Chains A and B, each alone.
Chain A
Amino acid sequence: MRKIRTPYLLLLPGFAFLFTFFILPIINLAQTSTQTKIAGGDTGQYEQTLRFANYFDAFVENKEQFGRSFIYALIATLLALAISYPLAYAIAFKSGKYKNVLLVLVVAPFFTSFLLRTIAWKQILGEEGFVVPTLRTFGIISESTTLTSTSFAVVMGMTYNFLPFMTLPLFASIDRIDPRTLEASGDLYANGYTTFRKVTLPLSMPGVVAGTLLTFIPAAGDYVNAAILGSPNTKMLGNVIESRYFKVVDYPTAAALSFTLMAAILILVTLYIRKAGTEELV
């Protein structure tokens, strides 16, 4: 008897926490999403009318921000992958005794607040930073072009902020590859490029999948980067939800948007994992 009960007892604190802080709020959110304004009531007073059309209205009204959320998140994820893969590869295979130092450097940004680091990007991309004058000198951007308050700035901010979430799973995955399998590939007539395509990349796929998910999911729901580095023209869904909740006090729309975003991410992620077939790669 005792043996059977032990695992459940061990699971209890986790379940209790998730129930209180995840399941209950989700139920509450679901209830809110189908409410409507009480006729003649004060701001923020809503009643349950099971109006599922809230979802449709919210989506139609904000489909532009919706599309932007996914496109920005996708670009940021691909950029982060392009930057992190060589980085993680170098740390895993080429860093020797500096491996741990470099890993600490990857997570070092976490020692500073997320907000501060995002605001710092405003400086970097601002008129007085070094990026804009440099790009102007080489004629890559015209004298009148600015980088702040652009979608470029938002995507760069997101790429930067989520980089460690991409690098760490990639590193964990690449570090586990036995370097002798790479030697074996070379021994079996594969040049460097073929070895990467046929051995290194397939063996690091669990890291690629984990890293892209850990980057894409929070990036799609992010609103801080768009709020600080963007303009009204670069608003993402997170910004809409935030303003509906805190500024407009339109709880049902905010809740409906939250659910739609969650569902969309869930569907995309499921399709992606199906396609990447991670279970084959352990």
Chain B
Amino acid sequence: MVKASIEARGDLRLTRLTKTYGDFTAVDDLSLTIPKGSFFALLGPSGCGKTTTLRMIAGLEEPTAGSIHLGETDITTTKPYQRPINTVFQNYALFPHLTIFENIAFGLRRRGKSDVKEAVEKVLNLVELPHLAQRKPTQLSGGQQQRIALARAIVNRPALLLLDEPLGALDLKLRRQMQIELKWIQKEVGLTFVHVTHDQEEAMTMADTIAVMNEGQIEQMGSPADLYDNPETAYVANFLGQSNLIKGTISGNDGDSQIVDLYGQKISLPKSRSHAVDNSTYAGIRPEKFRISLLETPVKGNVLSGGKIEDVSYIGVSTQYQVEMPWGQELMVFEQNDDGVAPFKKGDAVNISWEPTFTFGLRGDEDATAGSEVAPEVLDEE
């Protein structure tokens, strides 16, 4: 039984997983399959249930309802030490009384593996820290501890590697570097990685598939490009990057497109990206997809006219504009600084245009601000 579970391999399948603490539902009827060998990210703000989900997979929390399967093996109630799953903890949780070598060897020794020395040295080379083997964890920097925590987990060749905000304690520059390294290591060792994070950029950089979580449920799941270009809900549109959501009415069809009336101006929207359930909709456009032009300049594609530049912020690589539209809404526009100068000034009367294929449509009864108010920087979740 124990033997069988510890050698289980295959896809991870969560079925109707629920976890409640008293009246509070942390994870609500969650079902998903994580294919073997993939880099999967659970993305969401503090308290969305992503860490609880991870802890249930690790066996550190017992689900209130539902089941967890690894391949054909039901591991819902097996103890953490009987699961072929290892975790990289948020604050690393290295053993302070053991050397780096013994920290990494811990899992191997528990399972009575031979060739411990060889395996540890190999993984230390992989994380590029072979010279630290005899140090204690407190003698290492945060970035080094992070790599050792990773090494301690992957040396066991688990069926599944769980990463709980593994880069949260690192500074921005180191974080970016580790993101690339983690991705590389995952490819190198070919393990299934399940990565929990609140950082949408981190999730998009590393994961093949992202599940955006909100209030204990999965809001949307897909590839990073899928989620970014074709969000199904206002929550996803706002949490993953920024979005301009303009209220409108679907007034007709034109082949593969819908014609949407935005305060009297008609635009077109690909049907494949419309998630509206009736005539009322929100047309969504990412700020960098917009182009600004002066009134006399001819433009193609979708056009909204009558804008007025309200604010200009030059941020080097791009310039951010706030453009006030005739109906009072301020739209956000990011323009690349291709030519080195900000061509528009505050008060300029402008048109806004964009490629119709970049438009996505949401349900008209949604809260257009959902997901934009959450503070993704808060680290102490649950």
> Interface of B with A (CB < 8 Å)?
6, 58-60, 79-81, 85-87, 89-91, 93-97, 106-107, 110-111, 152, 156
Contacts and interface: CB of A to CB of B under 8 A. Distances in A.
A187 B96 CA distance: 16
Nearest to A203: B97
A10 B91 CA distance: 39
B79 A188 contact: no
B60 A199 contact: no
Interface size class of A (residues with CB under 8 A): 10 to 19
A187 B95 CA distance: 13
B97 A281 contact: yes
Interface stretch (A96-104, A189-197, A252-260): A189-197
Nearest to A199: B95
A185 B110 CA distance: 10
B110 A180 contact: no
Contacts of B94: 181, 184
A186 B107 CA distance: 9
A188 B93 CA distance: 12
Interface string A166-185: 00000000000010110111
Contact of A188 (B90, B91, B97, B156): B156
A176 to B, nearest CB: 10
A171 to B, nearest CB: 18
Contacts of A181: 93-96
A186 B80 contact: yes
A187 B89 CA distance: 10
Interface string A198-210: 1100110000000
Contacts of A280: 97
Contacts of A191: 79, 81
Nearest to B84: A189
B107 A188 contact: yes
A177 to B, nearest CB: 9
Instruction: Name the residue in A184, A186, A190, A199 with the highest tally of chain B Cβ atoms < 10 Å from its Cβ.
Output: A184
A185 B86 CA distance: 10
B95 A190 contact: no
A181 to B, nearest CB: 5
A183 B89 contact: yes
A-B residue pairs, 6 tightest by C-beta = A188-B107, A180-B93, A189-B110, A184-B93, A186-B80, A202-B97
A184 B95 contact: yes
Contacts of B156: 188-189
Contact of B106 (A183, A185, A203, A281): A185
Contacts of B111: 189
24 contacts: A178-B91, A178-B93, A180-B90, A181-B93, A181-B94, A183-B60, A183-B87, A183-B93, A184-B87, A185-B95, A185-B106, A186-B80, A186-B81, A187-B85, A188-B86, A188-B110, A189-B110, A189-B111, A189-B156, A190-B81, A202-B97, A203-B96, A203-B97, A280-B97
A88 to B, nearest CB: 18
Nearest to A178: B93
Given A184-B95, A203-B96, 20 more contacts: A180-B90, A180-B91, A180-B93, A183-B60, A183-B80, A185-B95, A186-B59, A186-B80, A187-B59, A187-B85, A187-B87, A188-B86, A188-B106, A188-B107, A189-B110, A190-B106, A191-B79, A202-B97, A203-B97, A281-B97
Contacts of A198: 106
Contact of A186 (B60, B95, B97, B152): B60
Interface string A248-282: 00000000000000000000000000000000110
Contacts of A180: 89-91, 93
B58 to A, nearest CB: 6
Contacts of A184: 87, 89, 93-95
A173 to B, nearest CB: 12
Instruction: Name the residue in B85, B94, B97, B110 with the highest tally of chain A Cβ atoms < 10 Å from its Cβ.
Output: B97
A187 B154 CA distance: 12
A280 B85 CA distance: 31
A186 B89 CA distance: 12
Contacts of A199: 95, 97
B97 A190 contact: no
Contact of A187 (B6, B86, B90, B91): B86
B81 A187 contact: yes
B151 to A, nearest CB: 12
A244 B97 CA distance: 48
Nearest to B87: A187
Nearest to A180: B93
Contacts of A185: 95, 106
A134 B239 CA distance: 69
B152 A188 contact: yes
A198 B156 CA distance: 18
A189 B87 contact: no
Contact of B110 (A178, A194, A281): A194
Nearest to B106: A188
A189 B81 contact: yes
A190 B110 contact: yes
A184 to B, nearest CB: 4
Contacts of A194: 110
A178 B97 CA distance: 12
Nearest to A194: B110
Interface in A14-59: none
A186 B93 CA distance: 12
Contacts of B85: 187
Nearest to B97: A202
Contacts of B97: 199, 202-203, 280-281
Interface string A232-249: 000000000000000000
Nearest to B83: A187
B165 to A, nearest CB: 12
Contacts of B87: 183-184, 187
A244 to B, nearest CB: 46
